[in-house]
Structure 1
Amino acid sequence: MSALIQKLHPALYPGARLTLDDTRRPLFSRQGDWDAGSALHCAAMALAMLGRLPDPVNVRGYASGPVPHFWDRAWPHYLHGLTPSELAAFVWELDAGVQPVPLEGSADELARLCVLELAAGWPVLVWIVNCRTDERHAALVVGIEEHDAIPTTLLLLDPAGAAPVLAACNARLEFGGANASYITAEATVKAGVDGAVSIRLLDAEATGADCV
């Protein structure tokens, strides 16, 4: 009998709503219909998972501290979005005690690098490309799925999708050469990874290496 195992980032607490494990604050930050801010929403969630942003959802509800600092730097990019290199520069400029690490390789190599980064405790932003329409948008890697101890799927939070209910993800990237599929509640499309940026803490080896 084959074994199917899901491994999630240790900062997550899946329940009726997906929250941060330590504070029980909601994590999912949803992209609006008009904006191109998927990478910014993913960056906010990644920073929250690393303990560098206390509230990734209500980013305009604070008068001082790291949340308005993030929003002040995010809003000029909100309508046109960010490429992987632009996102890396944006994260560096936040001076939030984290290091953006761009990942390089083919789509399949990037997916496998994401597995290694997440296993070390680092959330990863990936840029998904729809092979039919050539549309690109960012999603956040929060877990992996293994079949018989072989990683086959990235579990993702897609800011453009619905908030996950009784789950830790709202999208899946099933990878493997030319047959990669991006799966959401709405559709399954042939897709690939067109860039990835890992977010690591500067002052620690990992947040809790070995995801559970």
Structure 2
Amino acid sequence: MSTLIQKLHPALHPGRRLALAGSRQPLFSRQGGWDSGSALHCAAMAFALLGKLSDPVDVRDYASGPVAHFWDRAWPRYLHGLTPSELASFVWELNSGVQPVQVEGCADEMLHFCGQELAAGWPVIVWIVNRRTGERHAALAVGLEERDTILKALLLLDPAGATPLLAACNARLESGKPHATYITAEVNVRADVDGAVSIHRLEDGATGAGCA
């Protein structure tokens, strides 16, 4: 009998509402219907998983500190969205003690990269492309699904998707030939991966600010 295992980022606390393990602060940052800020929502959640952002949900409510700094840099880009290279530049400019690692490649290569990064504890933002419509958006990889030690799927938080309840993800990217499959409660589509940005925490004291 084959064995199916899901491995989640250690900073996640699944429950009725997905939260950060230490503070129980809600994690899921939902994208609005009018904006193109999926990559920014993913970045906020990634920063929170790394302990660099105390509140990834209500970022507009802070007058000072790292959360306010994040929003000050994010809002001019909120309606237009970010490519992988633009997000990597955005992360560097924040000077918040993290380092972006950007990669490109086919879907299988991206899945392998994301698996390695998540296994090391680094959240990864991936850009999903609907092969039928060409529409693309970003989602945050927060876990892996393996069958008999072989990576089969990434577990994702899609900012445009439904709020995960009693779950640690609201989407999944399944490997396959000749294309990957992107699955949410609303859609099941053939998909490609148009780049990924992993976010690493630098050594303490290397640069930037910590949690607000």
Structure 1 residues 1-150: aligned runs within 5 Å: 1-150=1-150
Secondary structure of 1:177's partner? coil
TM-score for both structures, normalised by structure 1:
0.95
Quote the residue 2:155 is aligned against. Answer: 155
Q: How many residues align?
A: 204
Structure 2 residue matching 1:60: 3-state secondary structure: helix
Q: SS of the residue aligned with 1:178?
A: coil
How many Å separate the matches in 2 of 1:153 and 1:15? 21
Deviation string for 1:78-117 (max 9, x for gaps)? 0010000000000000000000000232221011100000
Partners of 1:191 and 1:166 lie apart in 2 by 26
> SS at 1:92's partner residue?
helix
Give the secondary-structure state (helix, strand or coil) at the position aligned to 1:121. Answer: coil
Q: Displacement of 1:149 after TM fit?
A: 1.1
CA RMSD, 1 decimal = 0.8
Q: Percent identity?
A: 73
List runs of 5+ in structure 2 lacking aligned partners: 205-212
Structure 1: give runs of 5+ residues left out of the alignment. Answer: 205-212
Amino acid at match of 2:146: E
Please list the CA deviations of residues 165-192 of structure 1 after superposition, one character each: whole Å capped at 9, or x if unmatched: 1000000000133131000000100001
What's 1:164 paired with?
A: 164
Return the alpha-carbon distance in structure 2 between the equivalents of residues 68 and 84 of structure 1: 23
SS at match of 2:59: coil
Specify the code of the residue in structure 2 equivalent to 1:142.
V
After TM superposition, the runs of 4+ consecutive aligned structure 1 residues lying more than 6 A away are none
